[in-house]
Amino acid sequence: MKKLRWAMDGAFWDLDISTPITVDGLARPIPGDTTIPLGLSRGTKLSRPKQIDFMQRFMAMPFVPSYSGDLDKGGNGFTLQRLLNLPLGENWFATMLGQFNVQKLVASMKESSKQQPRDSSWCKNLRKHFCDKSLYALGLCSEISIGPDDTLLLSSELSGDDKKSRRNKAVFHHKHNLTAEAVWPGLFVDKHGTYWDVPFLMEVDLASVASNSGTSCHLSVHHNSGSPKQFEGNQIDQIPQALLPGLSVKTALSFKKNVDVWRSKAGKLKMVQPFDVFLSDPHISASGCIGTVITASHGGNPVGSQGEDESQSVGGISFRGGPDNKSAILADLFATISCTAQHGNFHRLCLDLTRLHARLDFPSGSKFLTGTTNLARDLYNSKPLDMQAVQAICPDITVSLQQQIFGEFSFRMDSKVALDTKSRESYGARIDDTVFAFEYALKVLGSAKAVAWYSTKQREAMVELRFFET
């Protein structure tokens, strides 16, 4: 299912991204608005409380740090999190996750030192600052195993800052392919890095279990209600169309094919376990995925293949009702091409892993065909190239580079590359977003790692766990 979501993360709402803005560390990209860097995605069952519980138990981390932008720009700054387990039974996982804002405490103490007289009690002032409830946030989580295949997660997030609203979530998982979720309010992030709150979000997501090659299908039902608002600060940006109240149903069918261009058959070191079993074979491989997605919507949430602004045309084959009818249906094609090259077996102490991954996403087949036609016509008639047509045929490019430094430690960089088409005289590529990460492979678990990442665009940093990820 995860492999299928990678091909369609611009068309569905089922791929969470990590962010330290909230206690549970989760947000969602606005449907069709942006392509997610590889380093920020998170598995559906790897909750923040479970991550911190593991790090406290087995990695001797009493506090887990995170950073989410400057305080004067609406961020939380530098914070620390600590988890308390609440034993309730073998099939009942309950936790209390506390968060303390260190940067806000330091800023408050500096401001207070300028106003307080010099002979005032230092201990008294310090106690007063620690009693400020705005420094604290609390996340309560309860996960119940209903059966061998079903789990129910209930969580609530409280903040001592009166400006921040309470967040609640209920998630039902069945095996690996069915998820039903209700969130109030739901947190979304747009392509410009702005966070939005949707008062109520309900979603049902069903997908076939994806394989390395073959056909996969996906169904998603998404409902928003209430008026969206900007997460922090005044409302200065236009509300994204995809967040307006409404109901939408999306279904997709795709076919994926993997090809090994080259795979090393050289023997490995005997009696030496690689730091990650999924990264132990040097190879060059390629994969391609092509499919179709059909979207039906009703209400104030208009349908679009890429969540376009109103100034842009909707790609695909669409059917809309009259002026008073808010229903619409859209059908479109999408495609993904990716290539991975790896050198090294990741079992020696130094520089034994170099891995490069590149992915090209074509989210709208109709726009690609229209842009190709317009460019061919302009070239045939010796006209200047249309910049919008050039942009329409350019894929979304994601590049990832990983390099072992020493032992279990490696460095990783994930970037989005965009074509600059503002100038008619020259074209160039620019780095649109980059995520830097240091990874520590947990060799004893076969394929797991602790990741400390920093996003240059969001100015956010987190320490997380990832399992069975390549």
Look at residue 426 and tell me whether its pLDDT is greater than 60.
no
Assign 254 to helix, strand or coil: strand
Q: How much is the average pLDDT of 42-49? A: 72
CA distance 352 to 289: 30
Q: Which residues neighbour 440 within 8 Å (Cβ) at sequence distance 6 or greater?
A: 408, 409, 449, 450, 451
pLDDT at 470: 55
pLDDT tens track for 402-419: 999 999 999 999 988 877
pLDDT at 464: 92
* CB-count exposure of residue 416 (10 Å: 0-12, 13-18, 19+): buried
pLDDT tens track for 216-227: 888 889 899 988
pLDDT tens track for 360-382: 988 888 888 988 998 898 888 88
pLDDT tens track for 311-347: 344 456 666 665 566 788 889 998 989 999 999 999 9
Look at residue 5 and tell me whether its pLDDT is greater than 50.
no
Provide the mean pLDDT of the chain.
82
The percent of residues in the chain predicted with pLDDT above 90, rounded, is 34
Lowest-confidence region among 79-88, 172-181, 272-281: 172-181
pTM score, two decimals? 0.87
**Pairing assessment for the beta strands 178-184 and 186-189 based on DSSP bridges:** unpaired
Reference 142, options 203, 94, 204, 75; nearest CA is 94
Q: Which amino acid is at 216?
A: S
